[in-house]
Amino acid sequence: MDILHCDLDAFFASVEQRDQPELKGKPVIIGAPPNSRGVVSTCSYEARVFGVRSAMPSSQAYRLCPQAIFLPPDMKRYREASQQVFAILAEYTPIIEALSIDEAFLDVSASHAIFGSSMEIGIQIRHRVKTELGLNISVGIGANKFLAKLATNLCKPDGIMEFTEDMVTNLLPTLPVDHLWGIGAVSTRHLNRSGIYTVQDLLEAPRQLLKTLLGSNTDFVLDLARGVDNRPVTPYEEVKSIGNELTFPQDISDQQVIEQVLLELAEKVAHRLRIAQRKCQTVTVKLRTPDFQTFSRSITSPTAIDDQRSIFDTAWMLYQHSGLEGKPLRLVGLTASRLQDGRYEQPSLFSDPGQDIDSIIYRLNEKFTQGTIKRAVLINPVGHNIDQDTVGPKPTK
DNA sequence: TCTGGGGTCCTAGGACCC
DNA sequence: TCTGGGGTCCTAGGACCC
């Protein structure tokens, strides 16, 4: 029982209710406004009573709870609060794995001599986060990550629970299959169609059937179903991709607008690459049509890049060869992957004058505030010569 | 009802090489 | 003249997580 899973309750909404006392006790929804195409990011428990949930379209949330107070996310404040919480967690063990801004695993196996049992540590953490930061944090305790997280999910909100050996035997088998890590909406539907609803059903199902339903995930899921999870708590993992995307208020087919959006996305991605001291070899453009079909076009080059100009030029070229040029789109995204160490000059066959300019813009923006200086929209995307066959097939629909 | 934005991992087919 | 087998890389799509 050495793994703790700590999860802040309705985090964004709780920060707002803490800082604006007039919101206490009221349904608060953090996310996109109800008349937009966006979704709910987080909502207070007062809003959940009405059936409002994370990831639900804001328009639907409004229909369920018209009296709710809708607020846009203030990520800067949430990040500050998150850092304060993580500072408390770090006092109990150095082995912390952040799952997101409001969730973490702690390996406390070496912390008992100083801080007591896992339950005692959990109680201390909850007390301190509550009294020092005014936030509720739920804590699950288990022999491994999966059981600890399961405990949190069962004791939320504002709870603490240890998932005991006895619960592995008597409670885990009775839970619905979607409580298992990696079993989402699609797998649940497939399993249910085959008469598999609970963890016990899954354990009794023919292995061959599970293989066809779950593929390579089968062994991992069967382990979880028995309460086995050997994944270690990993404090740091190198980021593998950096991307930004944008859903438009209305569908856009004007190529000049798409160009401008790609330029802005390229600026954001390039800036984040530099912060992370990374360069990318692969650029991917994501396009979503009004019927919600999503297409991607990517290209990998032997030269790693991190400047806005090169990223934009590549993205624009991919868009122009996507087969969706001039078609209405509801979303455009841009992702950099195959990341390399960006601290050293990458060998290149060609010199790129744009890179120097971007370095200057970057440093100036670092020195003042980000976005003060921007590259003007004078980039001529022509000049790239790409073999059509290397871009991939055009969408058939 | 009408679907965000940030990610990770997996699969399958084709190109290409030996 | 009618066609191997293995391995790796790239690309596109999709499931899943928070």
Q: Are residues A221 and A246 in the same domain?
A: no
Residue A323 CB in 7 A reach of strand B: no
Residues A192 and A262 reside in one and the same domain: no
Answer whether residue A366 is part of any domain: yes
Among all protein residues, pick the one whose CA is nearest to the C1' atom of C14. A294
What is the structure's pLDDT at A387? 33
Q: Which of A192, A225, A258 is the last residue of a domain?
A: A225
Structural domain contains residue A331? yes
Instruction: Judge whether residue A239 contacts strand B, using its CB and a 7 Å cut-off.
Output: yes
Report yes or no on A288 lying in a domain.
yes
A235 falls within a domain: no
Domain that holds residue A309: 241-392
- Where helices occur in chain A by DSSP H, the ranges are 11-19, 45-48, 58-64, 75-89, 112-115, 118-133, 145-155, 165-170, 185-193, 199-204, 207-214, 218-225, 255-275, 308-320, 353-367
pLDDT score, position A358: 52
**One domain for residues A301 and A204:** no
Q: How confident is the model at residue A354 (pLDDT cuts 50, 70, 90)?
A: low
8 Å CB contact between A381 and A259: yes
Cβ neighbours for A371, distance < 8 A, ≥ 6 positions apart = A365
Q: Between A385 and A362, where is the model more confident?
A: A362
A194 within domain boundaries? yes
| Tokens representing residue A322 in the block | 């996507």
Q: What is the pLDDT of residue A393?
A: 35
Q: What is the pLDDT of residues A258-279, one digit of tens each?
A: 999 999 999 999 999 999 999 9
- Say which CATH number the domain at A196 has: 1.10.150.20
Residue A259 sits in the same domain as residue A353: yes
Kindly state whether residue A115 falls inside one of the protein's structural domains: no
**Model confidence at A343, in pLDDT bands (50, 70, 90)?**
confident
**CATH at residue A311:** 3.30.1490.100
The amino acid at A207:
R
DSSP-derived 3-state class of residue A4: strand
Query: Both A327 and A357 in a single domain?
Result: yes
Is the pLDDT confidence value at A351 over 70?
Answer: no
CATH number of the domain at A27, please.
3.40.1170.60
Q: The tokens of A162 are what?
A: 């240890």
- Do residues A118 and A4 touch, judged by C-beta distance below 8 A? yes
Long-range contacts of A216-221 (CB under 8 A, 24+ apart): A217/A182, A217/A187, A220/A181, A220/A182, A221/A180, A221/A181, A221/A182, A221/A183
Determine the distance between A8 (CA) and B1 (C1') in angstroms: 29
Dist. CA A259–CA A257, nearest whole Å: 5
Per-residue pLDDT at A391: 32
**Is A266 in the same domain as A388?**
yes
**Contact, A241 CB vs strand B, < 7 Å:** yes
Q: Give me the sheet containing A40-43, strands edge to edge.
A: A40-43, A28-31, A69-71
Q: What is the mean pLDDT of residues A30-58?
A: 97
CA of residue A152 to C1' of nucleotide B14, angstroms:
45
Q: Is residue A99 part of a domain?
A: no
Please state, in angstroms and rounded to a whole number, the distance separating the CA atoms of residues A30 and A13: 6
* A103: in domain: no
Tell me, yes or no, whether A259 and A371 share the same domain: yes
Residues in reach of strand C, judged by a CB distance below 7 angstroms, are: A 55, 99-100, 102-103, 149, 181-188, 282, 284, 293-300, 338, 390-393, 395
Span CA (A21) to C1' (C15), Å: 40
Domain match, A344 and A216 both: no
* Residue A157: cis peptide before it, omega within 30 degrees of 0: yes
Please confirm, yes or no, whether A103 is among the known catalytic residues.
Answer: yes
Section A314-327 average pLDDT: 96
Region A370-375: what's the mean pLDDT?
45
Do residue A316 and residue A209 come from a single domain? no
Radius of gyration of chain A (CA): 24
pTM, entire model:
0.87
Tally the domains of chain A.
3
Domain stops at, among A74, A108, A126:
A74
A218 CB closer than 7 A to any strand B atom: no
Q: Are residues A296 and A344 in the same domain?
A: yes
Q: Are residues A356 and A315 in the same domain?
A: yes
Q: Which nucleotides of B are covered by protein (CB under 7 A)?
A: 1-11
Angstrom distance, A112 CA to C14 C1': 43
Give the pLDDT confidence score for residue A1 in this predicted structure: 74
Q: Identify the helix (H) or strand (E) that includes residue A5.
A: strand A3-8
Between CA A2 and C1' B4 the distance (Å) reads: 35
**CA pair distance A136, A312, nearest whole angstrom:** 43
* Same domain membership, residue A311 and residue A174: no
CA torsion, ordered A306, A309, A314, A319, to nearest 10 deg: 130
Question: Of the candidates A20, A51, A74, which is a domain's last residue?
Answer: A74
- Asked if residue A269 keeps its beta carbon closer than 7 A to nucleic acid strand B, the reply is no
pLDDT at A345: 60
Per mean pLDDT, which range of A294-303, A325-334, A383-392 is the poorest?
A383-392
Out of A16, A46, A97, A103, pick the active-site residue.
A103
Protein footprint on strand C: which nucleotides are under 7 Å from a CB?
Answer: 9-18
The model's pLDDT over A82-112, given as tens digits with 9 standing for 90+, comes to: 999 999 999 999 999 999 999 999 999 999 9
Whole-number Cα distances in Å, A240 to A103, A113, A308, A311: 20, 37, 19, 17
